[in-house]
A and B are shown apart, each in its own frame.
Chain A
Amino acid sequence: MGFFERIFKEPRWGVHPDDHKRPAADVPLRVLPPPAKVYMPLQQHVGGAARPIVLVGQKVLKGQLLAEPSGNISAPIHAPVSGTISAIGEVTAPHASGLGFTAITIDNDFENRWIECEQVADPLALAAEEITKRTAAAGIVGLGGATFPSAAKFSLGRRLKVDTLIVNGGECEPYLSADDRIMRDRANEVVDGVRIVMRAIGAEQALVGIEDNKPEAIAAMRLAAEPFPEVKIRPVPTRYPMGSDRQLIQTLTGREVPADARAAEVGVLVHNVSTCAAVHQAVRFGRPLVERIVTINGGAVKEPGNIFAPIGTLVAELLAFCGLKEDPARIILGGPMMGTPLPHAQVPLVKGASGILAFDAKEAFMPEAGPCIRCGNCTRACPMGLQPLEMGAHIRAGDLDGAEKFMLGDCMSCGCCAYVCPSHIPLVQYFNHAKGELWAKERTKLRVDASKRLVEARAQRLEREAKEKAEAAARRKAERAAAKAKAAAEAQGQAEGETA
């Protein structure tokens, strides 16, 4: 960068951490040998957890439906291997808390028998609703990490009449190269998937955004997309978080998504390249989502690279396959900027896991936090234009409502602010804590309001019952009085009759 540019043209947002992608990205794709056991969690997506429809002891084929979706936003789960269901119980979730969630355990019979898959010769001849239905049935969710059920997104896109499909080949996180690999090796599948998705949402063009630190992927995709002019390959500058959908949309189309709106409302829909490849498998070949490419990288890994593995494989097995030089100081699911720290390696691989990082002590070292010196680096780095130093100061002082006034809700926890902070303040943890507390407060308020309504309802019920009781008593009294009067009248009449 020239002298003049360096002083006067600071990038508008984001950070540029060290890549660490190679040599792992250049190693050819390896296939994991079939694992003896897989653990398929019921919640691998945004929305309602899937409901199991199989029983312990049942034999299943690869790709068989194990759990059906529940609710409008949900996704089904399918068997990644053929074998026997040995348990439906709790496993440790890939979550910072170390809490558990329900998963279906399958003991592999190593026969690799698929279910009957319905192949479609020309998926583009199918109706959009049909493609959406098949995508839903295949359990496809956003494989970039967001895990939003793709079929629901297709319906949304169709309803809002989007005109552009943006295909996210950014992969801006350091260390990760799963999307890079799938674009290099299976570009045809990706492009086919892109065209199917375009048909499903009714888009006229697709813009494939690929960061320019992936020249081989760009070349491969250009080659695969050549026969299809509506699929345009667009290299974008390498900057974290270019893969964030808001930033990618603005870079590729110049449109800005309003704060309270979704991308579809500005006419675009964003899907990851791996998701498009999965749609290709599901619609053209009838195969549900049961396998994916995952990057195994980090200083503690002997042979880092990309592995094609069944979903539900234990992280420990993946790490053992690539070999560990030492006991990892930290295991992360995802990238280093936004990834989840795993409590241990006995955690299953989930649909949204694009990478597993095993850090050695040097990489895992985080310096002690110091006081905020108000340098403003965080404000300059924030892709959303927020002021992390102000929000952090308010949260530290316990003023969560003050932090909300700085639009804490717009924060996407990308980690740029904490990355550039010279005092190494854990800003993202402050924000996640505050968001959680505010959300809990909101839930408590709703609960309190509901309790108040119940108390009122009870008071009304008691009043009503008392009133009915009083009315009933009054009625009985009136009847008794009437009966008494009647009896008296009859008696008198009799007496008169006797005297007459």
Chain B
Amino acid sequence: MFRAFKLGDGTEVVLRALRWGDLDDMLELHNELIDEEAMIGGDRRMTRDEQVDRHALLMKEVEGGRSVVVVAEIGGKAVGQTNARKRGGRQSHTAGLGLFVRRTWRGRGVGSELMRELEVQARRIGVEVLFLEVYSVSPAVELYGRLGYTEYGRLPGGIKYQGGYVDAVSMYKRIAG
């Protein structure tokens, strides 16, 4: 466990490392995001078998110090996660991150706490720069800005979403070094 905090309504949230046993919660989280057409990179549901492979790979990467994952747990259930994966070679001090929170728990501070903890954990594996990509129309742009991320690039029409194109905004934050 990394730490715990309370939401405005008193709900306790535990921030902790990823476990093998998070497999099914992670599958549920992913497929819920797909069903609601959330602004994430993925665009199709995963089968349990696909998730098993993805989960195994992620567990392996965490074990090897190439990735970090922070899970938010409420009432024994994983309701969100953020992860960062180090790039290779001369870019291995930089890591690309993703943030995923179940719909009912959004807008209540879970995401920003996950991101804060991710910085702490990422530093432990030698990450100096975190970067991310976000839909230009996503409310998360504002969240990342508040957390200290700066826009460093924008890919015009980089994302196909709901029949149209939106820009992919790239943001980064220097967390060490």
Asked if A and B bind, the verdict is no
